[in-house]
Amino acid sequence: MNILQFVTIGEHKGKSRVYFDGGRLAQAFTIGEQYAINVKDNGTVTLSRAESGKKVSRRKTGENYKPVIDCRDDIWGKLFGIGSKLRAVIRAGEIILSRPNKAKRQEEREQRFFNKAAKGQPFKFASLFSGGQIMDNAIMTGLKNAGVRSYVSFSCEREGRFMDLALANQSEHYRGDTVMVNGNIEDIDLNHHNASADILVAGIPCTGASQAGITSNKLKYAEEHDSAGGMSYYFLRCMDVFQPAIAIVENVTNYLKTASFAIIKAVLRDMGYNVSFGVKNGNDFGALENRDRMVMVAVSSGLGAVDVSDITPVATQPKQIRDILEPVPLDDASWKTYDYLDAKRVRDKAAGKGFSRDILNGGESKCKVIREGYHKGGSTETFVQHPTEPTLSRLFTAKEAAAVKEIPFSLLKGESRTTQLRVSGQSVIYTLFVAVGEYLGQWCSSILSDKAMTMKVA
């Protein structure tokens, strides 16, 4: 019989110790037998039946005696460290002890990350729910500004046009080993991709967590959403496969209240990550869009910790909306009356809903969130007032919609207006995530100096 048990290295009178007792131990040793400690080249340690050595003692339980091994030896602290958990296989005549796979994987990802940082090698960057890879570009730009190189090793996005846009405008971020997946994340067999990454980024779909999504889909909770409800599972599955040293997640602020987020935090901490999160506003990071978003950063705990509250702006905000407006001719077809939206506003107000569109004259210092469906011109969207005709207004152009989020329009060129508006509408505040990248790049430099004396570069 084989019994798998997990034990924690303790300490007694200045010596590290491992302890076994009970019927489980009786499967390997009997009371009074002797055992020897053997250290193997692969890092495992065995307690094996021997002619001489330490003795298996006993403890009375009820009317019976059970074997006890209270193995006190400096070797446990030296090899593994006091407080570390060990995987023990108990079988006839021996106990085989080794680090659990979880601990091994943590050490491997941290060593890999540190080696690359020390040698100045580019980090592998994995992106989930990538959209047009606007957030990815921002983070990688911030890393580059801080002297850290990276490239996209893996990307998954279900919208083919969004992926085409990224391929056309961000070719410098791809290499020969890059894997681009156009499809749903739940359809991927990651075992076929030999997947690994140093940094993993995920804009987990917020459809079930946003207030609009909850209302329109009549949801009791975010996880009830048909397509987006289970995405936290796939994110954690990718974390387990890719084993990144750093993970970055963004979402609506309501996501902080979901069961999904609570599970993500708990599982990441159990996997050996330090987790920090907070809410950031677009106006504070140089954008005109008044957008609050949740930002979470997790780093492998052996590398230290980060604090999202320490992420500071790297850009200043334009003074007014008019600073980003294009010179649209006064007789352009984009200027419309939108009488049906005005009529709907009256109905909504009478019904106590309070929905209405914002019509800006250009003097405003902020605007509300530009959504993915902005191109449809819905009843809650933001419009620009005609300079001379009060009955006319228009939607932002694609270039203007990108500008309110500080997204470089070069990342959107070559596609239709609708696709450009959809991509920018579902994207992040660009300058916020440049700041995230710069912060992490600077943090990376700091751990090089902190860890250089304690971690050996392979």
Closest CA to 82 of 7, 17, 21: 17
Closest CA to 1 of 25, 22, 34: 25
Residues 6+ apart with CB under 8 A from 196: 112, 124, 153, 242, 243
- pLDDT of 380 higher than 70: yes
Tell me the domains of the chain and their CATH numbers.
3-99 (no CATH), 105-315+428-451 (3.40.50.150), 321-425 (3.90.120.10)
Rounded Cα distance, 286 and 308, in Å: 17
Rounded Cα distance, 128 and 188, in Å: 11
State the Cα angle at 421 between 420 and 426, rounded to 5°.
Answer: 105
Backbone dihedral region of 316: left (phi > 0), alpha (psi from -120 to 50 degrees) or beta? Answer: beta
pLDDT band at 314 (very low <50, low <70, confident <90, very high): confident
φ and ψ of 333, to 5 deg? -65, -15
Q: Are 245 and 198 in contact (CB under 8 A)?
A: yes
* Residue 392 token pair: 């006319």
Q: What is the pLDDT at residue 225?
A: 42
**What percent of the chain clears pLDDT 70, i.e. is strictly above it?**
92
Q: How many other β-carbons are positioned within 10 Å of the β-carbon of residue 143?
A: 25
Per-residue b or e along 206-243, where b marks 16 or more CB atoms closer than 10 Å to that residue's CB: bbbbbeebbeebebeebbebeebbebbbbbbebbebbb
Rounded Cα distance, 56 and 27, in Å: 13
Grouping H, G, I as helix, E, B as strand and the rest as coil, residue 92 is coil
pLDDT band at 458 (very low <50, low <70, confident <90, very high): very low
pLDDT digits (tens, 9 = 90+) for 80-117: 999 999 999 999 999 999 999 999 999 999 999 999 99
Q: What is the DSSP string of 361-378?
A: -S--S-B----GGGGG--
Q: Cα–Cα distances in Å, from 54 out to 38, 39, 72, 406, 410?
A: 12, 15, 10, 69, 71
Dihedral angle of Cα 168, 172, 173, 175, to the nearest 10 degrees: 100
* Residue 288 token pair: 């005109």
First to last CA, the chain: 39
Q: What is the DSSP string of 62-75?
A: TTEEEEEEEEE-HH
Q: What is the pLDDT at residue 454?
A: 52
Rounded Cα distance, 166 and 260, in Å: 29
Mean pLDDT of the 64-77 span: 94
Q: What is the pLDDT at residue 62?
A: 84
* Residue 367 token pair: 């605007």
Quickly tell me which residue has 């106006």 as its tokens: 283
pLDDT digits (tens, 9 = 90+) for 204-262: 986 544 445 445 545 454 555 454 557 899 999 999 999 999 999 999 999 999 889 99
**What percent of the chain clears pLDDT 90, i.e. is strictly above it?**
76
Quickly tell me which residue has 């496969």 as its tokens: 241
Dihedral angle of Cα 303, 304, 305, 310, to the nearest 10 degrees: -100
Q: Are 338 and 381 in contact (CB under 8 A)?
A: no
Q: What is the pLDDT at residue 212?
A: 52
Mean pLDDT of the 27-45 span: 94
Tell me which DSSP letter residue 18 carries.
E
Quickly tell me which residue has 């974390």 as its tokens: 239
Q: What is the pLDDT at residue 281?
A: 96
- pLDDT of 36 higher than 60: yes
φ and ψ of 408, to 5 deg? -60, 125
- pLDDT of 401 higher than 50: yes
